[in-house]
Copies of this chain bind each other. A is one copy, B any other.
Amino acid sequence: MNTVSATSESAVAAIAGKRVLIVYAHPEPESLNGALKDAMREHLLARGHQVEVSDLYAMQWKAGVDAADFPQRDPAAKLVVPVDSRRAFDGDALTADVRAEQDKLRWADALILQFPLWWFSMPAILKGWFDRVYAYGFAYGVGEHSDRHWGDRYGEGRLAGKRALVSVTAGGWQEHYSPRGINGPIEDMLFPINHGVLHYPGFDVLPSFVVYRTGKVDGPAFAAIRERLGERLDRLWTDAPIAYRRQNAGDYEVPALTLRPGLERPGTHGFALHVGDSAGAVFE
């Protein structure tokens, strides 16, 4: 916990005035997730930042991608999601709810997700936020797609230069998510989100903040969690992001997009191959 001393009060003050979007997905305002969302908002405001909260349940967010997402399309034509999404994005013809969330992403310097780990991933309503807000041309289908270049993605894209943090709660024990734990290592569990959803359109992704054994969090435990989270928020602008490799910076064969031989850190396999040499902690 003494890592917080690395960030002096003056350093924290010097980076006031940032803009943070919190996307929050829990049906119960009095839940642990609701309390964490409130604590983050209060802490960031007290530090002089601006905060927007997208409370997906309160907004009654529509989770499913369907033809109604593209109101100007020919209703008799076959729906082809990337094609219809591209046309609607290019023509500024996405639905108002989706355009509002895209505007929040453009506005934000940082995105924070607050959600419970349900079946080892996001709740459906949050998955549906990404499925719908991440339109073709906005979060994918950006840049040339050919045998020479497969998109501006994984470190490039419209959300490059912004930071992202996943804050997640799990009912199970920390050991169950440890390197030899039965659920699989938490950093691998979250890789499809941190790398596949957040790094893909350009975010610099910070090590995730995880609360385990949620059923055991009483008042004193919550106070400690809140303090630990506040320290993480104070370092939101200074912590090293996970050192995911950039797709178009030379580490990958083209067009296969396989990691070039010999670049892996010793002993790494699978998802971990995509974290480069300069990696700080992948996880706090």
Would you mind naming 15 contact pairs between A and B with Cβ atoms under 8 Å apart? A57-B64, A63-B63, A63-B128, A65-B123, A120-B192, A120-B197, A123-B127, A124-B127, A175-B256, A175-B258, A176-B256, A182-B257, A182-B258, A183-B257, A188-B188
Contacts of A78 in B (CB 8 A): 28, 30-31
Chain B's nearest CB lies how many Å from the CB of A267?
8
Closest 7 CB pairs of A and B: A124-B128, A120-B196, A175-B256, A63-B63, A63-B124, A120-B192, A28-B79
- Scoring A128, A195, A255 by chain B CB atoms within 10 A of each residue's CB, the highest score goes to A128
Binding site for B on A (CB under 8 A): 27-28, 30-31, 57, 61, 63-67, 78-82, 118-125, 127-128, 130-131, 134, 150, 154, 171, 173, 175-176, 178-185, 188-189, 191-192, 195-197, 200, 215, 247, 252, 255-259, 269-274
Chain B's nearest CB lies how many Å from the CB of A37?
15
With both beta carbons as reference points, the residue of chain B lying nearest to A188 in the complex is identified as B270
Determine if A180 and B258 form an interchain contact, defined as CB atoms under 8 angstroms apart: yes
**Among the listed B118, B178, B184, B255, which residue makes an inter-chain contact with A173, where contact means beta carbons less than 8 Å apart?**
B255
- How many copies the complex holds: the figure is 2
Determine if A179 and B270 form an interchain contact, defined as CB atoms under 8 angstroms apart: yes
**Given A27-B66, A173-B255, A184-B271, 14 other A-B contacts at CB below 8 A?**
A27-B79, A30-B78, A31-B80, A63-B64, A118-B131, A124-B127, A124-B128, A175-B258, A179-B269, A184-B274, A188-B191, A188-B270, A192-B192, A270-B270
Contacts of A180 in B (CB 8 A): 258-259, 273
* A192, B182: Cα distance in complex, Å: 11
Given A119-B134, A120-B192, A125-B124, A27 and B184 contact (CB-CB distance below 8 Å) = no
Contacts of A171 in B (CB 8 A): 82
Determine if B183 and A80 form an interchain contact, defined as CB atoms under 8 angstroms apart: no
Given A181-B257, A256-B175, A259-B180, A127 and B120 contact (CB-CB distance below 8 Å) = no
**Among the listed B122, B184, B215, which residue makes an inter-chain contact with A127, where contact means beta carbons less than 8 Å apart?**
B122
**Among the listed B154, B178, B183, B192, which residue makes an inter-chain contact with A189, where contact means beta carbons less than 8 Å apart?**
B192
Determine if A64 and B255 form an interchain contact, defined as CB atoms under 8 angstroms apart: no
